[in-house]
Amino acid sequence: MVTYIDGRYVEDADATVSVRTRALNYGLGCFGGIRGYASDEAGQVLVFRLEDHVRRLARSASMLFLKLPVAEREACDAILEVIRRSQMHQDVYVRPMVISASTELSPVLREQDSSLIIYSLPLQRYIDKESINVCVSSWRRTSDNSIPARAKPTGIYLNSALARREAFDNGFEEAILLTERGYVSEGSAEHVFMVRDGVLFSPPSTEDNLDGITRRTLIELATKDLGFEFVERPIARTELYVADELFLCGTGAEVTPVNSVDRRTVGEGGVGPITARLKAHFSDVVRGRVEHRRQWVTPVWG
Ligand SMILES: Cc1ncc(COP(=O)(O)O)c(C=O)c1O
């Protein structure tokens, strides 16, 4: 496997940073998560919304006084090159990061310390179940005015990890976090969608959650391709208990139906009909089977 680090392509084992980096000591950095999907064409891999992911990474970096050290086009090319050099012909996950590589003491953010790292790994399902049982976490989502969730900062994932640990310890597969105000924010690494009376709902990114690319994709697919009604608005915790359908989504999680919340079965349980349609359509889109959505996929090979 090959990793890109500041313009060089090296074997994973040689892609090292100092134990003194501010990225390690203080969590100073931000990252992205991108998927490539094996397509119906033998050996081909299609990267989903590559430019959008790189643009978000660049914006995240600038929000944190870091900087994508190369042009966005160059970062896109490096991502494709990492996949190629790692000989990936299967479903793949790519992790680009912009970190503070400074080894000085004290947490200080400076554009000139920015380092770009890109690695990949084979990844099929991130959540390996048809539908999952989730809880509402006792941990609140870090407020956007404390650490901007919008920037996908590395350090904020301590919040996600605490919520996941609590969920696992209590026998759940995932956690939904509320904002300090008590409204639904997001899962540990996923956005939340709810269906009530045939209408889809999801909280806006002003509810301390990431500006999600899968979420935006699903809104467009639901409204434009499948003709569903969608409303963006805050969601109360107790609405989760009376939803007809619920699902989580994200680059890793794709579309993951929720079977129960806090041990209350959602609708009929399992996978609801609207969720099933969206999930199937999303899967066709990412594998390049939907002609009018092919602008969202970038071929890696050939
Ligand atoms: C906290 C958080 N929320 C939501 C998501 C889903 O966002 P996206 O669809 O852009 O991957 C992720 C994953 O990247 C995440 O880490």
Residue 109 contacts residue 28 (beta carbons within 8 Å): yes
- Domain encompassing residue 140: 132-286
At residue 207, the pLDDT reads 96
Give the DSSP letter of residue 221.
I
At residue 134, the pLDDT reads 98
At residue 126, the pLDDT reads 81
Residues 150, 58 share a domain: no
At residue 251, the pLDDT reads 97
Could you tell me the pLDDT band of residue 234, with boundaries at 50, 70 and 90? very high
Domain boundary among 122, 150, 165: 122
For residue 81, which amino acid is it? E
Sign of the Cα pseudo-torsion (147, 152, 153, 157, in order): positive
Could you tell me the pLDDT band of residue 36, with boundaries at 50, 70 and 90? very high
The 10s digit of each residue's pLDDT in 110-147 is 999 999 999 999 988 888 889 999 999 999 999 999 99
Phi and psi at residue 256, to the nearest 5° = -115, 110
Tell me what percent of the residues of the chain surpass a pLDDT of 90. Answer: 97
Ligand 1 nearest atom to the CA of residue 217, by list position: 9
Phi and psi at residue 4, to the nearest 5° = -95, 130
Ligand 1 center to 107 CA (angstroms):
25
Ligand 1 center to 70 CA (angstroms):
23
Residues 194, 173 share a domain: yes
Give me the mean pLDDT over the 43-52 stretch: 97
The 10s digit of each residue's pLDDT in 180-214 is 999 999 999 999 999 999 999 999 999 999 999 99
Q: Return the active site residues.
A: 152
Ligand 1 center to 251 CA (angstroms):
6
Residue 233 contacts residue 184 (beta carbons within 8 Å): no
At residue 26, the pLDDT reads 97
Q: Please, what is the average pLDDT of the chain? A: 97
At residue 124, the pLDDT reads 83
Kindly give the pairing relationship between strand 229-232 and strand 199-202.
Answer: parallel
What residues form DSSP beta bridges with 27? none
Query: Does the structure show a pLDDT above 90 at 302?
Result: no
Residues 147, 57 share a domain: no
Question: In degrees to the nearest 10, what's the CA dihedral of 249, 191, 71, 3?
Answer: -60
Q: Is 11 exposed, middle or buried (0-12, 13-18, 19+ CB in 10 A)?
A: exposed
Residues 198, 105 share a domain: no
Residues 150, 105 share a domain: no
Residues 139, 115 share a domain: no
Question: Is the CB–ligand 1 distance for residue 279 below 6 Å?
Answer: no
Among protein residues, the one whose CA lies closest to atom 2 of ligand 1:
189
Question: Is the CB–ligand 1 distance for residue 189 below 6 Å?
Answer: yes
What are the residues whose beta carbons fall under 8 Å from the beta carbon of 158, sequence distance 6 or more? 27
- Cα separation, 82 vs 32, in Å, equals 15
Ligand 1 center to 155 CA (angstroms):
15
Question: Is the CB–ligand 1 distance for residue 214 below 6 Å?
Answer: yes
Question: Is the CB–ligand 1 distance for residue 215 below 6 Å?
Answer: yes
Question: Is the CB–ligand 1 distance for residue 150 below 6 Å?
Answer: no
Residues 262, 199 share a domain: yes
* CATH code, 240: 3.20.10.10
- Cα separation, 237 vs 135, in Å, equals 11
Residues 136, 116 share a domain: no
Ligand 1 nearest atom to the CA of residue 209, by list position: 3
At residue 120, the pLDDT reads 97
Question: Is the CB–ligand 1 distance for residue 213 below 6 Å?
Answer: yes
Structural domain count of the chain: 2
Domain boundary among 59, 90, 122: 122
